[in-house]
């Protein structure tokens, strides 16, 4: 089968976990909603186009190879936004803090990020999916909207380098993926930097949805290194920011790719 693979690397990333009150937590690695949101931005799908977002989330299967989950970073936020008063419109930030100072409703918020994390993502399309993997790869090379890793404050720090490969299972696809260097101008040097980065991480965590056989033959998986969890990152409604549970298989190996 055909698979689309691409790299996710940046100084900061935030993979939204369930939000509890003012706390905004992050999963260790890429969530499906974040990855498919990135794909949607590349394709030029707007936030209000609910049907297209749901099709992206439902008609493509995803896996990831987490080379480094990065360092956990917690950021403290103070959010101020006055509520509306009839038909009055605040024309500027100064109007908000001066005219609306008694209605600011300050909210304290803590948000989690992953610093210097590196992951590879893989997609497999179902029959009848709205876009071919080649079309998505082209969009990732020349995105319509700005791409980021979970939050707008998390820009990419390396090319996505999307590649379509033919393989048996997600494991075979990851084995074939060899992204180019971080910098086109310093191809050899940046390739060596990434190689050194990967070599320092002696284990890699694979995550995928579906059956165990979707990754590789079950005989090749060590039960002691396999874990199945429920993760709430399957899009239910883009307009209402609602997500559904999704069963994820986790497999950590010390062999690398």
pLDDT tens string 73-115: 998 878 777 777 777 788 888 888 888 888 887 878 888 999 9
pLDDT of residue 257: 41
Mean pLDDT, rounded, of the chain = 87
Angle ∠(134,137,143) on CA atoms, nearest 5: 135
Q: Give the range among 56-65, 147-156, 216-225 with minimum mean pLDDT.
A: 216-225
pLDDT of residue 203: 81
Q: Of 202 and 153, which is predicted with more confidence?
A: 153
pLDDT of residue 78: 80
The SS3 call for residue 228 is strand
Element (H, E) at 175: helix 169-176
Cα distance between residue 125 and residue 133, in whole Å = 7
Architecture of the domain made up of 2-253? 2-Layer Sandwich (3.30)
pLDDT-derived band of residue 15, with 50, 70 and 90 as boundaries?
very high
Range with the largest mean pLDDT of 53-67, 78-92, 96-110, 208-222: 53-67
pLDDT-derived band of residue 33, with 50, 70 and 90 as boundaries?
very high
The SS3 call for residue 176 is helix
pLDDT of residue 237: 86
pLDDT of residue 80: 77
Structure tokens at 78: 């103070």
Residue whose C-alpha is closest to residue 84's, from 70, 95, 75, 76: 95
Domain boundaries, the chain: 2-253
Task: Judge whether residue 183 has pLDDT over 70.
Answer: no
pLDDT of residue 256: 43
Sequential DSSP letters for 76-115? EEEE--PPPBTTB---SHHHHHHTTGGG---EEEEEEEEE
Task: Judge whether residue 230 has pLDDT over 80.
Answer: yes
pLDDT of residue 199: 56
Structure tokens at 79: 């959010």
Place of tokens 């990851």: 174
Q: 249: which residues sit within 8 A by CB, 6+ positions away?
A: 206, 207, 208, 209, 212, 215, 226, 227, 228
The model's pTM is 0.83
pLDDT of residue 219: 67
pLDDT of residue 87: 75
């Amino acid at each position: 089968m055909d698979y689309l693979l691409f790299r996710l690397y940046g100084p900061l990333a935030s993979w939204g976990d369930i939000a509890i009150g003012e706390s905004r937590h992050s999963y260790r690695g890429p969530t499906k909603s974040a990855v498919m949101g990135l794909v949607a931005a590349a394709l030029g799908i707007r936030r209000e186009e609910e049907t297209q977002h749901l099709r992206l989330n439902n008609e493509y299967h995803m896996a990831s190879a987490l080379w480094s989950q990065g360092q956990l970073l917690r950021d403290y936020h103070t959010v101020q936004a006055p509520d509306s008063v009839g038909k009055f419109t605040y024309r500027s930030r100064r109007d908000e803090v001066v005219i609306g100072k008694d209605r600011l409703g300050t909210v304290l918020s803590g948000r989690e990020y992953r610093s210097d994390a590196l992951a590879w993502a893989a997609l497999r399309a179902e029959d009848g999916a709205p876009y071919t993997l080649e079309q998505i790869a082209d969009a990732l090379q020349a995105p319509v909207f700005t791409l980021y890793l979970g939050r707008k404050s998390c820009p990419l720090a390396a090319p996505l380098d999307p590649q379509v490969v033919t393989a048996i299972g997600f494991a075979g696809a990851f084995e074939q993926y060899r992204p180019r260097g971080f910098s086109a101008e310093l191809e050899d040097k940046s390739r060596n930097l990434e190689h050194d980065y990967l070599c320092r991480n002696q284990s890699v965590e694979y995550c995928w949805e579906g059956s165990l056989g979707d990754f590789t033959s079950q005989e090749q998986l060590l039960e002691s290194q396999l874990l199945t969890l429920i993760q709430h990152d399957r899009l239910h409604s883009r307009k209402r920011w609602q997500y559904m549970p999704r069963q994820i298989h986790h497999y950590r190996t010390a062999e690398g790719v």
